[in-house]
Amino acid sequence: MSEAQNGRGALFAGGLAALLASTCCLGPLVLISLGFSGAWIGNLAVLEPYRPFFIGAALVALYFAWRRIYRPAQACKPGEVCAIPQVRATYKLIFWVVAALVLVALGFPYVIPFFY
């Protein structure tokens, strides 16, 4: 079964897009909280105009991953990756972690004023 069919590729794309969407805002806050400093941190704000595109890509990827991961197990042929319960449980866990990252990327601009 290819990556496109088992949901792994969509999960990876969604996670990457979520991280890129939060890089402009969440990245500097995390770096400063960890003790890093420097004017270069402000350069991460360059990605702010692309944030809606990254979030859109993350939501589309999550939709395709959800369609593959939460399809009935009966739709999988015996011996395929999606028919193995442990693999399905792992993909579901990763799906919800990525969904939480997307949620953070969506809500962060509204919560950030409370931190500064």
- In this prediction, residue 1 carries a pLDDT of 47
Share of the chain above pLDDT 70, in %: 71
Region for residue 7 given its phi and psi (left: phi exceeds 0; alpha: psi -120 to 50; beta: otherwise): left
In whole angstroms, give the CA distance from residue 77 to residue 103. Answer: 33
pTM above 0.85, yes or no: no
pLDDT tens, position by position, 16-48: 777 776 666 666 667 767 777 766 666 666 767
Which residues, other chains included, contact 2 with Cβ-Cβ below 8 Å and sequence gap of 6+? none
**98: domain range?**
3-114
Asked if residue 102 lies in contact with residue 18, where contact means CB atoms within 8 angstroms, the answer is yes
Confidence of residue 73 (pLDDT cuts 50, 70, 90): low
Report d(CA 49, CA 18) in Å as an integer: 15
- Number of domains into which the chain is organized: 1
79 has a pLDDT exceeding 50: yes
pLDDT tens column, 93-116:
888 888 888 888 788 778 777 776
